[in-house]
């Protein structure tokens, strides 16, 4: 999906516009405890086009002691580097500030469409309120009122028209696409190089519509893979580390295009907040996932260390309980061949289909052995279940009363499904429909 970034100084109304554009759309994998909900990235659609909106104002640019102008500078750079379309938002009530001018200076160099959005204009006849902004040199100012939703439709029309065509990112439909994601310095590049060093590379650096990852195709045992390397751009010197550090947009897009996510974690550092955030995207995107704990050579260990690590990973990233872990070293090449075996395995799990009759037999058994608890004298009855999709496996349950399908019972059903069918490494999606 293309990415639309909203840039601007605080209080101009970025998050109001963000909320309006994304309409509080909630991911389907709701109420799963432990999912890190970073609401700065949300999917939106307009005129049948889907895109992701990013509120750069909420991005954590780390260093609190940095002067504000430096932070907004980074926001603008990250947006220029990674977004397809930029909305630069200014405040029509306060007029142009020095920060606005600084950002405009950066954005004027952008090679992507930039829309100059003047917010807080409730009366479009007050042209003097927004005509001033012509001096920023970013074209026609577009007046809107984010809080009243005035002119936001026209703004979206323009934005959608400027989105890049998906000029057939059809890659190779049979290839397994693997996204290698993780924080900077966890060893993504090293892993990619080590993996590719052992495989028969067909094409490297496949030119694509996206410029924020390097794709490499290789064959193994007659199967085709495409490795999506988010760290590769930095390696090629096309992006500097500061921008990479502050941006998850490239990870998002790589995840979006992938079949399997290799979530790389630095075992010598343990699981960090940023790891959880990035992993959360893979989970929400419904992708098959393998947790790769790299730099295992640096960890002093005995025979129990791996188990202990597994426990930590499970408690820190409970929402990824289904994802297998593997402990590797890009340096010593320990267990590297095992990574692709796991990739094959989870990729296959993600495409499994269970027949409706088998599903409903299991469902009857679940309800017989563990009936749903009653709620105000009523008991949930699941009448029927069917699998409606793969990648991720998606199930629709028809029930007597959807309010009775509580989280705990849903979790129980999910666990029984996993015990019975596997689905290792893949999230499952449940939809509930009420039937009279």
Binding mask 193-232 for ligand GDP (x = CB under 6 A): --------------------------------------x-
Angle at 94 between CA 150 and CA 40, to 5 degrees: 60
**Which residue stretch of 32-40, 110-118, 328-336, 423-431 sits at the interface with ligand GDP (rule: CB under 6 A)?**
328-336
Q: Is 186 annotated as a binding residue?
A: yes
CB of 62 to ligand GDP, least distance (A): 16
At a CB cut-off of 8 Å and minimum separation 6, what does 231 contact? 180, 184, 188, 189, 192, 244
Q: Is 180 annotated as a binding residue?
A: no
User: Is the Cβ–Cβ distance between 383 and 399 less than 8 Å?
Assistant: yes
Contact 205, 212 (CB under 8 A): no
- What 280-283 contacts at long range (C-beta under 8 Å, 24+ apart), as own/partner pairs, is 280/35, 280/36, 280/37, 280/38, 280/319, 281/38, 281/41, 281/248, 281/251, 281/252, 281/255, 282/181, 282/255, 282/320, 283/29, 283/35, 283/319, 283/320, 283/427
Which of 17, 71, 80, 186 is the binder for ligand GDP (CB under 6 A)? 186
**Does 125 show up as a binding residue in the annotation?**
no
188 interacts with ligand GDP by CB under 6 A: yes
| Smallest distance from ligand GDP to CB 295, Å | 4
When asked if residue 175 is in the footprint of ligand GDP (CB under 6 A), the reply is no
Q: Interface mask (CB under 6 A) for ligand GDP, residues 375-404, using x and -? A: ------------------------------
User: Between the CA of residue 285 and those of 260, 279, 325, what are the distances in Å?
Assistant: 11, 10, 19
Does residue 34 belong to the site contacting ligand GDP (CB under 6 A)?
Answer: no
Nearer to ligand GDP, 72 or 278 (CB): 278
User: Quick check: 187 binds ligand GDP (CB under 6 A)?
Assistant: yes
Closest CB to ligand GDP among residues 62, 373: 62
Smallest separation (angstroms) from ligand GDP to the CB of 247: 13
Return the range that interacts with ligand GDP (CB under 6 A); candidates 80-88, 166-174, 215-223, 324-332: 324-332
Q: Any known ligand binding at 22? A: no
Distances from the Cα of 319 to the Cαs of 96, 278, 283, 286, in angstroms?
Answer: 45, 12, 8, 12
Q: In angstroms, how far is CA 382 from the centroid of its own chain?
A: 32
- Beta-carbon count within 10 A of 317 CB: 24
Under rule CB under 6 A, residue 242 binds ligand GDP: no
Q: Is 331 in the site for ligand GDP (CB under 6 A)?
A: yes
CB atoms within 10 A of CB 97: 13
Contact 160, 49 (CB under 8 A): yes
The site map against ligand GDP for 102-131 (x = CB under 6 A) is ------------------------------
Work out the number of other CB atoms within 10 angstroms of the CB of residue 422.
15
User: Does residue 291 touch ligand GDP according to CB under 6 A?
Assistant: no
Shortest Cβ contact with ligand GDP: which residue? 187
**Footprint on this chain of ligand GDP (rule: CB under 6 A):** 182, 184-190, 231, 294-295, 297-298, 329-331
Binding site for GTP, residues? 8-15, 55-59, 119-122, 182-189, 229-233, 294-297
Binding site, residues? 8-15, 55-59, 119-122, 182-189, 229-233, 294-297
């Amino acid at each position: 999906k293309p990415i639309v970034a909203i840039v601007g100084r605080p209080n101009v109304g970025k998050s109001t516009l963000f909320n309006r554009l994304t309409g509080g759309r909630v991911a389907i994998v709701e109420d799963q405890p432990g999912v890190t909900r970073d609401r700065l990235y949300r999917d939106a659609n307009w005129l049948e086009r889907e895109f992701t909106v990013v509120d750069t104002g909420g991005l954590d640019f780390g260093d609190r002691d940095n002067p504000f102008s430096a932070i907004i500078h980074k926001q603008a750079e990250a947006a220029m580097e990674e977004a397809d379309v930029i909305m630069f938002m200014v405040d029509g009530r306060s007029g142009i500030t020095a920060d606005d001018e600084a950002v405009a200076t950066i954005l004027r160099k952008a090679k992507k469409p930039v829309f100059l959005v003047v917010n807080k204009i409730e009366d479009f006849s007050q042209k003097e309120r927004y005509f001033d902004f012509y001096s920023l040199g970013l074209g026609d100012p577009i007046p809107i009122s984010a809080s009243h939703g005035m002119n936001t439709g026209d703004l979206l029309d323009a934005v959608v028209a400027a989105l890049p065509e998906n000029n057939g990112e059809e890659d190779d439909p049979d290839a397994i696409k693997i996204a290698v994601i993780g924080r900077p310095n966890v060893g993504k590049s090293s892993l990619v190089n080590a993996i590719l060093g052992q495989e028969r590379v067909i094409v490297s650096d496949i030119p694509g519509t996206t410029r924020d990852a390097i794709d490499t195709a290789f064959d193994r045992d007659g199967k085709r893979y495409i490795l999506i390397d988010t760290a590769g751009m930095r390696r090629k010197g096309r992006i500097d580390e500061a921008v990479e550090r502050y941006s998850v947009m490239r990870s998002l897009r790589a995840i979006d295009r992938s079949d399997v996510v290799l979530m790389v974690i630095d075992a010598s550092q343990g699981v960090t907040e940023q790891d959880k955030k990035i992993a959360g995207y893979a989970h929400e995107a419904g992708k098959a996932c393998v947790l790769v704990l790299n730099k295992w050579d640096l960890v002093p260990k005995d025979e129990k260390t791996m188990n202990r690590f597994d426990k930590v990973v499970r408690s820190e990233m409970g929402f990824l309980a289904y994802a297998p872990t593997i402990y590797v070293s890009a340096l010593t090449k320990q267990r590297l061949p095992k990574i692709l075996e796991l990739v094959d395995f989870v990729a296959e799990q993600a495409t499994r289909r269970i027949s409706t009759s088998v599903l409903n037999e299991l469902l009857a058994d679940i309800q017989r052995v563990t009936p749903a608890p009653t709620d105000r004298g009523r008991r949930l009855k699941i009448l029927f279940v069917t699998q409606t999709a793969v990648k991720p496996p998606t199930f629709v349950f028809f029930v007597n009363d959807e309010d009775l399908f509580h989280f705990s019972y849903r979790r129980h059903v999910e666990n029984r499904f996993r015990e019975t069918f596997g689905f290792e490494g893949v999230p499952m999606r449940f939809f509930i429909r009420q039937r009279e």
